[in-house]
Structure 1
Amino acid sequence: MTYFIDRRPNAKHKSAVNRQRFLERYRKHIKRSVEEAVNRRSITDMERGENVSIPAKDISEPVFQHGPGGARNIVSPGNKEFVAGDKIRRPSGQGGGGGAGEGGPSNQGEGVDEFAFTLSREEFLEFVFDGLELPHLQRKPLKSLEEVKMVRAGLSRDGVPSRISITRSMREAYARRIAMRAPIKRALREAIDALEAEERKDTVLRNPTRIAELKAEIERLEKRIAGVPFIDTYDLRYHQLSAQPQPSNQAVMFCVMDVSGSMTQNHKDIAKRFFLLLYLFLEKHYEKVELVFVRHHTAAREVSEEEFFYSRETGGTIVSSALNLVNKIIEKRYPVGQWNLYVAQASDGDNWDDDSNICRDLLVKQLMPQLQYYAYVEITPHDHQSLWHEYESVVKEFPERFAMRQIVEAGDIYPVFRELFKRRLSQS
């Protein structure tokens, strides 16, 4: 019988395996609590865990117990009141009021509090971004040798035990045993034949000395055959691994934010929250995603992360300046054949009179043929303006790769984000 012992270390006083099993079992309840927490707290406060409560009735387990009535034998340790044959009075039933999860108003009975526990930062973000992904992410041709995959590259006589090839090692051992035993077996057959021939001779002609020598030779050869090892270190073969370059799934996300005078402080705060949520999502799920931050009013500039979120610069509105800058950066630094290209734009929809048509042409003719996905969020409680209407024509041209949503207040950020980056069943 084979015994498997799991010696994987768990954290002190915790069982990681049981915790993961618990999180998976009550995933629906935890996800609902996480969504409520996201709507309560600010996006800048997303990097800490969360206290989650599950109603007691939802974690109750079925229990087998004896029904009422019948004759039963019970051992009651420490009993000083009853003896065998006594009848025990039924419970009055007035003290057992509310059971688990029945915590309604009452002057009697007992209840059970909700089961509460704390999600770590990693677990919290896992539930926040569950079911989300970058749409249409593709494997691009190799750009550098950083991304490799270890593949088998033949066999070697040297290696570590975890890479041993059982089948090839046993085959080598079998071949070695055949090769080592063949001449011994041939000599053994000859000795046996000679012994039989000697024993068939008449008693007068039989040579006792020769017979003794043959028997000793046979015994020696049989010991040599038995001494051939079943497997030897010479037989062992190990899988050889080599690093094989792999196509890269690297991507770049352009974060484009309108900071013109028409964007109120509330609009800018909502845009920053949206991009912070996007930043956390990319940081959590992707290792090879670069971020390019672009701010624009009448002119667009590529800025640092710090300046993107906290600069106080403002001005008029020409959206095409940002789109032109994004196109130039792509041509200069991010070849289409090597990068997955994404753009997320946040604006209040206000734009210079004749610039919206230019934006549409830039998207249809230059940007969208290169991009994997374009997400546009318009932050306004009012009716849509010309930019939105021009973008609707872009949606008709690229229905799978161009998406636009409206955000009215801060509570809309998370639902809109999930709609824009929800997991697709198929990728183009």
Structure 2
Amino acid sequence: MANFIDRRLNAKGKSTVNRQRFIERYKKQIKKSVSEAVTRRSVTDIDKGEKISIPTRDISEPIFHQGQGGIRERVHPGNDQFNQGDQIERPKGGGAGEGSGEGDASNSGEGKDEFLFEISNDEYLELLFEDLALPDLQQTNAKQMVEFETYRAGFTNVGVPANINIVRSLRSSHARRIAMTAGKKKKLAQLKAELSNLENTPGTQAEVIIDLKQQIDDLQKKIDSVPFIDSFDLRFNNFAKREKPSSQAVMFCLMDVSGSMDQATKDMAKRFYILLYLFLTQTYKNLEVVYIRHHTQAKEVDEHEFFYSQETGGTIVSSALNLMHEIQQERYPADEWNIYAAQASDGDNWADDSPVCKQVLAEKILPVSRYFSYIEITRRAHQTLWREYENLQQDYANIAVQHIREVDDIYPVFRELFKKQPS
């Protein structure tokens, strides 16, 4: 079995280990750590890289070996405590061995700590938003939003072992060996023919034959010294990203900042919207985002004010929905734009206003929207707003309603809302 060993110096930005193959192999453990990191972080560093800890037992290499088979009885030297048929008690904790460092202390023995693997910001975001997409994104008249797709871009002399093209590499190796040994093999054939003639000719001096044989051996060694494959032969599949024109889209972010939204609830809403913002900017280009904050009155704000303003007040949810409709009608015609919206609230609303919200959604927003998601962040029982939105789900397939109780629910709910639909 041939082994390919890449001894070249790493290009800039390349790790000494095969990162992509490693991430693919242990994606389950890495994605679990990534999802847990989302809930631990503050809103200001949610897009940073992450250190992933993987138990040593999960990175062990599988091996094949010949089993002994049959029933065997052994007497080990030094045994002075046990007889045949005795049951051996399980060793108590505190001994040496492999583990993550838990258990009682011991004054002897060695162990192995968990394997620590650090992923970059781009790898972190890629894993965070894998298999997510804006639902029901369709072509519109104006094409400005751009998605990126990975495509095969021929072959390259530099790459990681996971992308080696075996056929191309062997073809290059074969061509190199032909070029380097063709002349030597031709001369070798001539020397062998000459040796055969001399051996069949009576009276030939032994010294001449010995010298000819030495030339043949030297030439054969030179031919054999040509390596089967060299670093110059390696060819790698080249992958690149290109822009894939798609329809332009706008995402409306509606957040309740009324007095009933305490600081913990607002922080959870901010985490959700930061995840949404990172997902949109990581996946799509030229996608517009409109931020709307509301209490009794709604106001369009910029990104900084949306996340950090301290303004508060009562609660009239329909004010945000009406403002969204006005902005959409004025700046984002439905025949030219894909309309999306994400609303976060604790569900507290004037009882008389909840039916108004349902009416605005049913008559103005849902008919022109591709997807409307509502996230209710509360530990209390659901109120009238949740029930009105749930009723809309029976008549409209483009509205989704999810409930967040605590920080750990944010990422699973986010993935559920924006998971890629089967085509």
Call closer, same or farther: CA 1:337–1:247 in 2, change over 3 Å.
farther
Residue equivalent to 1:350 = 348
Whole-Å separation in 1 of the counterparts to 2:350 and 2:411: 29
Call closer, same or farther: CA 1:422–1:91 in 2, change over 3 Å.
farther
2:265 match: secondary structure: helix
What is the CA-CA distance between 1:56 and the residue it aligns to? 1.4
Is contact 1:141-1:247 (8 Å) kept? no
Range moving further from structure 2, 40-49 or 278-287? 40-49
Whole-Å separation in 2 of the counterparts to 1:117 and 1:332: 49
Residue equivalent to 2:404 = 407
Alignment-mate amino acid for residue 61 of structure 2: E
Residue equivalent to 2:46 = 46
Call closer, same or farther: CA 1:148–1:405 in 2, change over 3 Å.
closer
What is the CA-CA distance between 1:14 and the residue it aligns to? 2.4
Please say if 1:274 is aligned against 2:272: yes
Please say if 1:19 is aligned against 2:19: yes
What is the CA-CA distance between 1:100 and the residue it aligns to? 6.0
Please say if 1:116 is aligned against 2:116: yes
Alignment of 1:79-90 (within 5 A): none
Residue equivalent to 1:136 = 136
Is contact 1:142-1:247 (8 Å) kept? no
Whole-Å separation in 2 of the counterparts to 1:355 and 1:255: 20
Whole-Å separation in 2 of the counterparts to 1:124 and 1:9: 22
Q: Structure 1: where are the runs of 5+ without partners?
A: 69-89, 150-244
Is contact 1:141-1:248 (8 Å) kept? no
Call closer, same or farther: CA 1:64–1:313 in 2, change over 3 Å.
closer
Whole-Å separation in 1 of the counterparts to 2:258 and 2:34: 34
Whole-Å separation in 1 of the counterparts to 2:78 and 2:115: 30
1:295 match: secondary structure: strand
Whole-Å separation in 2 of the counterparts to 1:340 and 1:359: 21
Whole-Å separation in 2 of the counterparts to 1:143 and 1:289: 11
1:372 match: secondary structure: strand
Whole-Å separation in 2 of the counterparts to 1:100 and 1:67: 25
Call closer, same or farther: CA 1:12–1:348 in 2, change over 3 Å.
closer
What is the CA-CA distance between 1:108 and the residue it aligns to? 5.0
**Per-residue CA distance 1:3-28 (angstroms, 9 max, x = gap):** xx9x9973267258x21111111111
Please say if 1:294 is aligned against 2:292: yes
What is the CA-CA distance between 1:252 and the residue it aligns to? 0.6
Is contact 1:49-1:118 (8 Å) kept? yes
1:112 match: secondary structure: coil
Alignment-mate amino acid for residue 402 of structure 2: R
Residue equivalent to 2:365 = 367
What is the CA-CA distance between 1:99 and the residue it aligns to? 6.7
Identical residues among aligned pairs (%): 56
**Per-residue CA distance 1:10-69 (angstroms, 9 max, x = gap):** 3267258x211111111111111212222222233212111112111111114578999x
2:300 match: secondary structure: strand
Is contact 1:298-1:316 (8 Å) kept? yes
Call closer, same or farther: CA 1:61–1:98 in 2, change over 3 Å.
farther
Call closer, same or farther: CA 1:307–1:112 in 2, change over 3 Å.
same
Residue equivalent to 1:258 = 256
Output the TM-score relative to the length of structure 2.
0.64
Call closer, same or farther: CA 1:20–1:109 in 2, change over 3 Å.
same
Whole-Å separation in 1 of the counterparts to 2:317 and 2:139: 31
Call closer, same or farther: CA 1:148–1:363 in 2, change over 3 Å.
closer
Residue equivalent to 2:166 = none
Residue equivalent to 1:169 = none
2:400 match: secondary structure: strand
Whole-Å separation in 2 of the counterparts to 1:100 and 1:148: 46
Is contact 1:340-1:371 (8 Å) kept? yes
Whole-Å separation in 2 of the counterparts to 1:114 and 1:246: 41
Is contact 1:140-1:247 (8 Å) kept? no
1:45 match: secondary structure: coil
What is the CA-CA distance between 1:317 and the residue it aligns to? 1.4
Is contact 2:10-2:16 (8 Å) kept? no
Alignment-mate amino acid for residue 19 of structure 2: R
Is contact 1:142-1:246 (8 Å) kept? no
1:284 match: secondary structure: helix
Alignment-mate amino acid for residue 139 of structure 2: R
Structure of greater Rg:
1
1:132 match: secondary structure: coil
Whole-Å separation in 2 of the counterparts to 1:143 and 1:28: 36
Whole-Å separation in 1 of the counterparts to 2:276 and 2:42: 14
Is contact 1:52-1:117 (8 Å) kept? yes
Alignment-mate amino acid for residue 349 of structure 2: N
Whole-Å separation in 1 of the counterparts to 2:244 and 2:125: 29
Call closer, same or farther: CA 1:414–1:53 in 2, change over 3 Å.
same
Alignment of 1:200-211 (within 5 A): none
Alignment of 1:222-241 (within 5 A): none
Is contact 1:44-1:273 (8 Å) kept? no
RMSD: 3.3
2:394 match: secondary structure: helix
What is the CA-CA distance between 1:141 and the residue it aligns to? 2.0
Please say if 1:425 is aligned against 2:387: no
Residue equivalent to 2:213 = none
2:251 match: secondary structure: strand
